[in-house]
Amino acid sequence: MNISERFLRYVAFDTQSDEASSTVPSTAGQRIFAEALADELRAIGMEDVELNEKGYLMATLPANSDKAAPVIGFIAHLDTSPDMSGRNVQPRIVHYGGGEIVLSEQENIRMSPAHFPELSKYVGHDLIVTDGTTLLGADDKAGVAAIVSAMQYLLEHDDIKHGKVRIAFTPDEEIGRGVNHFDVKKFGCEWAYTVDGGEIGELEYENFNAATAEICFKGLSVHPGYAKGIMLNAALLAAEYVSWLPTDMRPESTEGYEGFFHLISIRAGVEEARLVYLVREHDSELFGKKKELLSALVERMNGKYPESSTLSLTDTYYNMYEQVAPHPHIINLAAEAMRAVGVEPIVKPMRGGTDGARLSFMGLPCPNIFAGGHNFHGRYEFIPISSLEKSMQTIIKIIDLI
């Protein structure tokens, strides 16, 4: 089975995570996928294949030489984003000759380089695309496919001498719970790489500091015909609060190292309203200032409408840079491996987070390498087969170079 066939088989599993769920994993589909993966890993010859009750899957590629080598690992996540349906994914391979790609003729859904200029890099390549009604699932089934395919290749090519390698697949990364139950000691690695990056060449060891903010507003509802001087409309308080946050600090207005406030949920009525924001910032000092601003605006609201507003702030992960930067050989090894397989590394800050961010703070330095996909979490997601293949080759070369 080649890597594209493996990937196409994986995306057929419905593995969206669910933030409203209290189970681990949050959805049954992730467990079903993990069980299928465990069977596959045993079939290709991996050792110590263990799927625990929480849906975490680990396995070992045994050493085939006696050379001294650190134990390293590779990690990807089982779930796909709840932002768009991942059920009944109908991918297809198109040979891209330029211009628009018609994803759905019936619904007139088209992917154009006018909106997605990165397409122009892949003229002449075979792309795996959606049918326009679901996401694809390259985030992170491309990473899963690259890791499993690399393991199979090494098991079939004993001439590549290597030490012990560990792999792991985690549930619920997309809802921020991916390493809640990850056993770093049991994984037993000196360092690891998440294979959860985007375009070919991405190499990331900086990410956002992240928090979730929930702002709740309490109003007073009376009959609107008799509301003068009495009614306090919580929905309008929420709208006013939103208007106070700077518009140039929204995701659609930022790039690179610039952080943002991302409004992801509004629930509003006269009596009660609730806003949920994602707070993101690379710099820890600016991260603190963003949280201070949210708090100051709640105080401003309460000054105007006493006891109307409350704020709950929860930090979710931090910038892995301070944990990974003291180990430059980890980054240099990945960059060397990429160049050895014909890929120029693109070292850039990650505008998001991975399991590796939290794992780095749990004692496992864990930068992120590319899986090859684009436009994650939506109907325009695609992955060049050539990029997927290079991800696999990079993993193999990292192991070869140690």
Considering the candidates 14, 40, 79, 381, report the single residue annotated as catalytic: 79
Rounded distance between C-alpha atoms, residue 3 and residue 379, angstroms? 22
Looking at residue 237, its amino acid is L
Question: Six-digit token pair at 228?
Answer: 């003068």
Rounded distance between C-alpha atoms, residue 142 and residue 301, angstroms? 46
Q: 3-class DSSP state for residue 380?
A: coil
Considering the candidates 40, 131, 172, 173, report the single residue annotated as catalytic: 173
Active site residue 79: yes
Q: What is the number of other CB atoms lying within 10 angstroms of the CB of residue 347? A: 14
Q: Which of 151, 152, 144, 149 is nearest to 195 (CA)?
A: 144
- CB distance 134 to 86 below 8 Å: yes
What are the distances in angstroms from CA 261 to CA 283, 291, 357? 14, 10, 20
Q: What is the number of other CB atoms lying within 10 angstroms of the CB of residue 390? A: 22
Which pairing describes strands 191-197 and 368-370: parallel, antiparallel, or unpaired? parallel
Rounded distance between C-alpha atoms, residue 225 and residue 243, angstroms? 27
Rounded distance between C-alpha atoms, residue 15 and residue 82, angstroms? 9
Active site residue 158: no
Instruction: Please give the span between the terminal C-alpha atoms of the chain, in angstroms, as a whole number.
Output: 27
Rounded distance between C-alpha atoms, residue 89 and residue 303, angstroms? 50
Please give the positions annotated as active site.
79, 173
